[in-house]
Structure 1
Amino acid sequence: MKSVNTAAAGNRWIKKTLALACLGVTCAGASVSAQADETLNLYNWGDYINPEVLERFTAETGIEVNLDTYSSNEEMLAKLQVGATGYDIVFPSVHMQDIMAQLGLLEKTGINQSPGFENIDTSHLLAESDPEGEYCLPYGWGSVGIVYNKTLVPELNSWKEFFALPDQGKKIVMLDDMREDIGLALLLDGNSVNSVDPDELKSAQQFLLDTKPKVSAFTYDSIPMVQSGDIAAAQWYVGAMIYVKEMPDTLAYVIPEEGATMYQENMCVLKTAPNKENAKRFLEFFLQPEISALNTVQQTNGSMNKAAIELLPDDIRNDENINPGEETKEKLQIFRELGTGTRLYDRVWTKFRTAS
């Protein structure tokens, strides 16, 4: 088995509340029992799917949806490996999809042959184990940039400006995430966020050690602090646009000019899925542009469905942070599976997080 980083929590902006996710669907417990034919069991990141999508699927098909949630790729994989059964669909990040493929956990669905797949932007077929989309359906993607309080920082355009804020007496927060933080340090040094070069990782480690005293906290729960003005800016996901739209005079989000990391989750059917036909129907249901658009509006992240993008409200379709142009997208780097290189990252992260 490949080594999988258990330190990288990988949470999305989805840690608001699970109450919304439980509307119109059944929230599953710690394990999923055997289900009847007309059910579908999803295992997804917290609040990472529009409940209306699930309600419409049930109304159209009569298939009842059960939803269980996780907060990291590693949590999801660990649960499956210790014997959790009954799940039909999971939503791994691209690098985790590749790990799961190596472990033989994923079902070949042939979703790329289904009507509507022609709407999928093939540049998002990023999994090395699934270059044609024969297994999984691209689901959602976004950048990891900076959310900031405009009453404290009127304008912010770069990571250089972000890391200069503490010298101006303004507080900043970073994610408590190994891949994101090491990846950012590598990116700012002009290197790949997936580098396993010891010298490049040593340089990234030194950047993080030098930066650590300036950072007020390492956490996923930074949005309330930015909203209140307790901190000026935070490294965070594009899902921050939800809050920006609620408080446009106070909050802003930016993809820094140096570039950023990006995430992408795909919708995959498990080889052990008890309801494979229902799972395939859900993937095909999500190919409908209006359904994909419905999810994107609620999530404020990027869509891979070209026809769905045309259906989005102007304020989302034309927002460069949510649907950036090609020039900006070229500055975004996605994480890959590191194999044995994960041990190098673990050592860098341990030294950084334990340094006083």
Structure 2
Amino acid sequence: MKRMLTRLAGVASILLLTTQMASADGKLSLYNWGDYINPELIDAFSKEYKVDVTLDTYSTNEEMLARIQAGASGYDLVWPSVHMHDIMQKLGLLQAAHPNQMPGWENIDKAALRSHEDPQGDYCLPYAWGAVGILYNKKLIPDLKSWRQFFDYAKANPGKVTMLDDLRETLGVGLIMTGSSVNSRNPEEIEKAEAFIMQQKPNIGAFRYDVIPLVTSGDIAAGHYYVGGVLNVLQNPDLLGFVIPEEGATMYQEDVCLLEGAPNSENAELFMQFLMRPENAAKNSERLTNGVVNTAAVSLLPDNLKTNPSINPSPEVRAKLQIFEDLGKDLRVYTRAWDRIKTN
């Protein structure tokens, strides 16, 4: 009888938990990169669980971190890049959400557990990855393949290319072009990368993010940009192209992390589970045109995404992609170099 009562109590607890999860009334506050989630998913989650979801956006990891450190409160989930995930975890800004214990974790590609601080996925959920290459106008540059070609075009047509307003990404290109790792801690190598970018600067129209309309209109011929621009390429393939340069490129991966002190942690964890559903991961990838970390979602993608060499590059191309690491105090060398590039 005691065993039976224990079992019944356990069943009752499970039923109660299920009922609570199915009607998780309340709120959820997301702080994400701009245009980095399919809004249909937010609407679907809100309707399914009767949760009022709000979304604020940021442009860089540094902007997000500065706001959180300055005391911005009320946010539940953030989407840091892997190296920023490591930084925030070391700073005590995150709490363990244990996505590795949630339903759907079995679908997550364990190769996406790139965080040095969170190698088992106790804190954050791998979200999406992609390369950072060049979006270009085919009428102005019919066949773009390399960074060298990108910079040669800029030299012949000053002001007609842009690079990202991001110290790691743009100095990363300089490091690639001078034969060093994008995570170099060697001041001499960073100095060479700085000199390379400074040499190109007179021909660079701007350091900026909002380049898609400019490339589409032909106001600029090419822009250093994220693989998410492939969405526009697919919509206008005769006009636009995206390439991972043959010299190599950076790659990114963002994770979904629960902030320490999140006011709606239960709904946040529920949203993580929601994102792990294969159909939702596939729907998100279709909108973002990113590489997916959900292995069960791959078969649900349309063929033009599964076979796209920018979204799912060959092993040879992937071998030339470098992801940023947390540089700790050595980041100051990059910051000083970037300040000189921007002000001189």
In the superposition, the TM-score normalised over structure 2's length comes to 0.89
| Counterparts of residues 292-311 of structure 1 (less than 5 Å) | 292-311=281-300
Contact 2:77 2:258 (C-alpha < 8 Å) held by counterparts: yes
Instruction: Decide which structure has the larger Cα Rg and report it.
Output: 2
Amino acid at match of 1:233: A
> How far did residue 221 of structure 1 move?
2.0
1:18 is matched with none
Q: Which runs of 4+ in 1 moved over 4 A?
A: none
CA contact (8 A) 2:174 2:196 kept: yes
Paired amino acid for 1:243: N
State the number of aligned residues.
320
1:169 CA displacement? 3.4
Give matches, 1:108-147, under 5 Å: 108-147=96-135
For 2:138, the equivalent position in structure 1 comes to: 150
Q: More displaced, 248-257 or 273-282?
A: 273-282
Identity of aligned residues (%): 53
Question: What is the match of residue 99 of structure 1?
Answer: 87
2:254 corresponds to which letter in structure 1? Answer: E
Are positions 1:176 and 2:178 aligned together? no
2:183 corresponds to which letter in structure 1?
A: N
Matches within 5 A, 1:182-261: 182-261=171-250
SS of 1:68 mapped into structure 2: strand
Shift of residue 37, structure 1, vs aligned partner: 5.3
Task: Tell me the residue number matched to 1:68.
Answer: 56
1:354 shift after superposition: 2.1
C-alpha distance in structure 1 between counterparts of 2:67 and 2:254, whole Å: 18
Partner of 1:77: 65
User: Aligned with 2:116: secondary structure?
Assistant: coil
Which residue number corresponds to residue 27 of structure 1? none
Q: Which moved more, 1:92-101 or 1:221-230?
A: 221-230
Report the alpha carbon displacement of residue 131 of structure 1 after superposing the two structures with TM: 0.6
The worse-fitting range, judged by mean Cα deviation, of 260-269 and 214-223 is 214-223
| Whole-Å separation in 1 of the counterparts to 2:149 and 2:248 | 13
Deviation (angstroms), 1:101: 0.4
Paired amino acid for 1:279: A
Q: Which runs of 5+ in 2 are unaligned?
A: 1-23
- More deviation, 202-211/217-226: 217-226
- Alpha-carbon shift at residue 115 of structure 1 (Å): 2.3
CA distance in 2, matches of 1:339, 1:149: 38
CA RMSD, aligned part only? 1.5
Distance in 2 between the 1:167 and 1:82 partners? 42
- Secondary structure at the residue paired with 1:181? helix
Q: 2:315, 2:88 → 1: CA distance?
A: 30
CA distance in 2, matches of 1:123, 1:194: 20
Q: Contact (CA 8 Å) 1:37, 1:275: kept in 2 or not?
A: no
Tell me, which stretches of 5 or more residues in structure 1 are unaligned?
A: 1-35
Aligned amino acid, residue 276 of structure 1: S
Partner of 1:268: 257
SS in 2 for 1:298: helix
1:302-330 deviation digits (Å, cap 9, x = unpaired): 11111111100111111110122322211
Residues 82 and 326 of structure 1: is their aligned pair in 2 closer, same or farther, counting only changes over 3 Å? same
- For residues 63 and 293 of structure 2, the distance between their equivalents in structure 1, rounded to whole angstroms, comes to 26
Q: Aligned to 1:316, which of 305, 316, 319? A: 305
Give me the TM-score of the superposition, normalised by structure 1.
0.86
Pick which of 213-222 and 244-253 moved more.
Answer: 213-222
